[in-house]
Amino acid sequence: MSKTTLCIIDDHAIVRHGLKELLQKISNYEVIHEFDNGDEFLEALPLQPPPDMYILDYSMPSMNGIEVLQALEEKDTEYKVLLLTQHFEESIINDAYHHGARGFLHKNCTAADLKFAIDNIVTIGYNNITEILKRIRNYELNGVKKTEQIVLSQRELHFLQLVCDEHEYTYDQMADIMCVSVKSVEAYRTALFERYEIKSKVGLVLFSFKYKLTPPFI
């Protein structure tokens, strides 16, 4: 069985060391990159070889985890990030998901919780969508009002369905499925981003689930 490869970004060497040892014990994981701050991590992108996902600490000098997520939003590549933190404020959780985190765990979580989160993010793209939706239930996602009427073209809806598909299609694959050019797919994404002030793929998924626009709701 192939290993799940990981990158750890945490400013405490002892935490990185302990996390690496734990990950090797609980499953077929391998840490292939590690960084002690967000600046160093961002400067090294794109990583070679690219890991399957990233474990990011929230509290770091210079840039915190949310600021790193904001910087990743500007990249063309989607990054599967699990945010770890000792802070459990609702605002931090909302900001983490708003800016593209695929999962969120407290640093006091169990090894089983960590394994569950990693496996979910790698296989289906995010961890525990039910919990995500619960946390944003009363939160106005990206400024979109709950009473706002959502109007999508058939092409935009098809694009959104592919974004939310568990296969994690690339834009090239979406273009092939939709029988359009990659530029057209990017245009659908840009239109949704601008119309509803969405900034990431995770934002599209949450938007879709919130307004029940894609399976299993339709």
Interval 120-140: pLDDT, tens: 888 877 887 666 665 555 444
- Residue 102: closest CA among 76, 123, 75, 81: 81
Q: What is the pTM of this model?
A: 0.69
Residues facing 7 on adjacent strands: 33, 54
Would you say how long the chain is, in residues? 218
> Token digits for 49?
């070889």
Mean predicted lDDT score pLDDT of the chain = 85
| 98-110: average pLDDT | 88
Q: Between the ranges 30-44, 83-97, 108-122, 203-217, where is the mean pLDDT highest? A: 30-44
Whether the link from the prior residue into 61 is cis, omega within 30° of 0, is no
- Per-domain boundaries in the chain: 4-135, 141-210
Superfamily of domain 4-135, CATH level 4: Response regulator (3.40.50.2300)
10-14, 15-19, 29-33, 120-124: range with lowest mean pLDDT: 120-124
Q: Which of 40 and 99 is assigned the larger pLDDT?
A: 40
- Write the CA distances from 202 to 7, 115, 147, integer angstroms: 19, 20, 21
pLDDT at residue 113, as a whole number: 92
**What CATH number matches the domain at 141-210, 1.10.510.10, 2.30.30.20, 1.10.3720.10, 1.10.10.10?**
1.10.10.10
pLDDT band at 141 (very low <50, low <70, confident <90, very high): very low
Helix (H, G, I), strand (E, B) or coil at 134: helix
pLDDT at residue 147, as a whole number: 42
Q: State CA 85 to chain mean position distance.
A: 16
Cα Rg, the chain, nearest whole Å: 17
Q: Which of 172 and 145 is assigned the larger pLDDT?
A: 172
Other Cβ atoms closer than 10 A to 165: 16
pLDDT at residue 11, as a whole number: 94
pLDDT band at 36 (very low <50, low <70, confident <90, very high): very high
